[in-house]
Structure 1
């Protein structure tokens, strides 16, 4: 029995250790937040519903193109009292009709096709707006993720420096007691340690705020700050492809063409047929024989409307010309933006060599000064200066890395 209890205890202990290790190693990557933002975004859901609504519009158009069957009924009674009342010759005194009507527009085929093309363009426009919204969402999430990761690194670095200073503070305190260093030098170092601890707390608060903002943008209610994995952003060197951002201008141009077709179809003759059957009687003569049917046609030919068609064409031509102006200007701006980001990335990459060399020298100086500190051969102020120089170089490296990642994110956005 005791062996079984020990075995169960060991199993539980191993399970707890495994879960603890997994919790320590657990990280979240950028895909986690992008997936949540895509899942919970009401804007993307709105565009999706708009697509479904447009699909229903196309079905409505197809349904309207079929023969339309309606049932109608009307009754009337005009009494004549003491010779007063409607003229019976005109009103027939009373009437009743109950008809089944069938109408079909024979010239509607081209109009239906044009309407379906317009609905397709509307669907393309909504699809483009949804894709653009998704691009904007990914860009903002990625930017904030980079900001949070930079805050996370800042906390880790401040913790590293605080640990180093605490270690040296214990040594310096002992050396001060042994009269190797003055009390004022120890107090100067202690003030530096306290400032670093305050910087660590500020960095932790900033990290929590940045993390909360990231969760807010992604639509997450979880407030836990699980460590983030390093963002992996690819920097493409190719030119933008067919141009996602200019597609909206192409859609607008096609819409103008579709509207021209609509105008042209409005000036074509309209021809339709109809048929009805049922009961229609005034009850004046053999009402039981007033069951019957009728067929007919309708024809409408536009002749003159004051040149409205020409003026509508001119408006659409001006709209197309304006859209082309905006498209050309945007293409110039996009290319300028990409060129500027490339220049900034090149200049940023050139900084890393100098910064890494500065960090290497600053870290080496700290190691030398730390050894001299133990023997009392260096002033405490000089050691503090060495630490501050190392912190400045390390902060510059993180800031430059963060800026580079954000530049890559911008380049990937505009390179679509």
Structure 2
């Protein structure tokens, strides 16, 4: 004779079947025993290890040194030591024969360089100095492009960090999506394992068929196969996250939950994407200023002291000095100044076109993302209604199961459908986080 199951035992069975005992993702995460890392950990590592950021930082230092060099070039004196020893011997025939002379005293018939040109040689040992006069404005003008290049470099660093932050955050969200899918599959497998134990007892008591137990086993195998795929994807995406962040670690870790929010719209504030074009426009103006300097007079004071002679016997009496001033002033060069100014103006117009295009492009992108987010929110609301409907159906099925009026295959089918809807809702939530991250990227 078959024994009757207590009513509270049947109720527990049905509660298990309904999935109300599903373990939450948070509890699964807490039980894993693995270290937990947050998004900030990966972002900070990415900033510190990015070769592009480091290269731009080195460029900033190089530009600073170049500005100092130009300051010295146009404002500091240049002191040099020069030495020359040129020998131009001749072969004299004045006294008959063929006599070599290193420094002739006035030969008229000879073979060799013309004495009027070479005078027998050149012997110099000089200390010379040149000093630009009133050239501080030139030093500032020539250093200005490198100062602007440093500002452009800082903008490039910020843009590079901004790009890295988006890429790393996107990868982090994908890892969270994989991890949550693993966790939801684990919770469903726990339910199926408990279901199998209860169904097996019902089969042994002839309350359920052997085929019902087989269906539970098949569903468990299906979910286990999905779990292997999700776990593989999670490990793959975590390692890619480490690679993007410059972390040499292959340990599987748990990731802290993430809830991105949309940043306030930047409105009319200059975008970080267009700051470089503004600096490039200023750099063109600086280059034009440098070009215009060639039309201003340039004075240079110079002087030297030391030995300067062309006749060796006179060396002891040929030590002296000289000083002077040189002037360079361009008066006409075919209107190059006006032509270069026109070129600068055209290039600045192009940079302005780029700025306006990017501002328009990013504005349209932000509006597109806002529309997509509204669509996802509407879909999430539909999914919540579907889940509530499935729960109502499962509650009805619970009563039918207690009365023996429903096959377990129908129940498992509805349960699978509800789990699929929940998984779709999870994917939409992940896509929503990706869209929020994209919105914040363009809203910068």
Report the equivalent of 1:154.
Answer: 181
Correspondent of 1:62 among 68, 71, 81? 71
Q: Residue deviations 1:6-61, cap 9 Å, x none?
A: xxxxxxxxxxxxxxx99837411001111111121111111111111111111111
CA drift of 1:364 comes to: 5.1
CA drift of 1:268 comes to: 1.5
CA drift of 1:330 comes to: 1.3
Does structure 1 residue 281 correspond to structure 2 residue 290?
no
Q: Counterpart of 1:139 in 2: which secondary structure?
A: helix
After TM superposition, list the pairs within 5 Å mapping 1:389-400 onto structure 2: 389-400=417-428
Report the equivalent of 1:87.
Answer: 114
After TM superposition, list the pairs within 5 Å mapping 1:44-123 onto structure 2: 44-65=53-74, 66-81=76-91, 82=98, 83-123=110-150
More helix by share: 1
Q: Normalising by the residue count of structure 1, what TM-score does the alignment of the two structures yield?
A: 0.90
Alignment RMSD (CA, Å): 2.0
Structure showing greater Rg = 2
Checking the alignment, whether the CA contact within 8 Å between 2:124 and 2:309 is kept in structure 1 is yes
Report the equivalent of 1:412.
Answer: 440
Checking the alignment, whether the CA contact within 8 Å between 1:92 and 1:284 is kept in structure 2 is no
CA drift of 1:97 comes to: 0.5
CA drift of 1:365 comes to: 4.1
After TM superposition, the runs of 4+ consecutive aligned structure 1 residues lying more than 6 A away are: none
Q: Which moved more, 1:188-197 or 1:204-213?
A: 188-197
Checking the alignment, whether the CA contact within 8 Å between 1:181 and 1:376 is kept in structure 2 is no
Q: Counterpart of 1:24 in 2: which secondary structure?
A: coil
Distance in 1 between residues matched to 2:112 and 2:441, nearest whole Å: 80
Q: Counterpart of 1:180 in 2: which secondary structure?
A: coil
Report the equivalent of 1:195.
Answer: 222
- Over 3 Å counting, the alpha-carbon distance change for 1:186 and 1:374 in structure 2 is farther
Report the equivalent of 1:272.
Answer: 300
- Over 3 Å counting, the alpha-carbon distance change for 1:386 and 1:23 in structure 2 is closer
Q: Normalising by the residue count of structure 2, what TM-score does the alignment of the two structures yield?
A: 0.84
Report the equivalent of 1:7.
Answer: none
Distance in 2 between residues matched to 1:123 and 1:328, nearest whole Å: 24
Correspondent of 2:248 among 221, 226, 233? 221
Q: Counterpart of 1:74 in 2: which secondary structure?
A: strand
Q: Residue deviations 1:64-109, cap 9 Å, x none?
A: 1211111111011111233322122321113210111111121522
CA drift of 1:358 comes to: 2.4
Q: Residue deviations 1:167-224, cap 9 Å, x none?
A: 1122222222333233333323321221111111111111111111111111111111
